[in-house]
Amino acid sequence: MKKTKVLNSELSAVIASMGHTDTIAIGDAGLPIPDSSKRIDLAVKRNLPPFLDVLETVLCELEVEEVTISSEMIEDNPGLFKKINELFSSIKINLVTHSEFKEMTKNCKAVVRTGECMPYANIILHSGVAFSCEE
């Protein structure tokens, strides 16, 4: 059995396949997923699994250099906006309209659907590189 955090085989495979600047979206239960993107549906029931649990787990395995969120989150979900700013205090946070966000998901390697039922609980993670001189 795999020892690292991400146990879902589809999600683990997508993370392992990501290169520099590739993107993956994590969204709430209502985020539309384009047919052009791989759908990884983790939703079991309302609010299970929660958006933040999935995000924090993915961050254990994915090097992220910047993120994109909907500007509507600032007003309509200020608690989540604050948490996103805490999680990503040292990297660039791009703000786009929710319409632009949904359009951007068409180019994501995958869109992960959570059971989250808060408004605008969606994020696009832009993969960084984890080069190290150590072996």
- Interacting residues of 131 by C-beta distance below 8 A, sequence separation 6+: none
The pLDDT value given to residue 93? 98
Of 4, 7, 17, 20, catalytic: 20
Calculate mean pLDDT across residues 118-133: 90
Q: What's the token pair of residue 121?
A: 């609980």
pLDDT digits (tens, 9 = 90+) for 46-102: 999 999 999 999 999 999 999 999 999 999 999 999 999 999 999 999 999 999 999
- Report how far residue 118's alpha carbon sits from residue 77's, in angstroms, rounded to the nearest whole number: 7
pLDDT digits (tens, 9 = 90+) for 44-60: 999 999 999 999 999 99
pLDDT at 35 over 90: yes
- Report how far residue 39's alpha carbon sits from residue 97's, in angstroms, rounded to the nearest whole number: 22
Contact 39, 33 (CB under 8 A): yes
Q: Would you call 98 a catalytic residue per the annotation?
A: no
What SS3 class is residue 85? helix
Share of the chain above pLDDT 70, in %: 97
Beta bridge partners of 94: 68
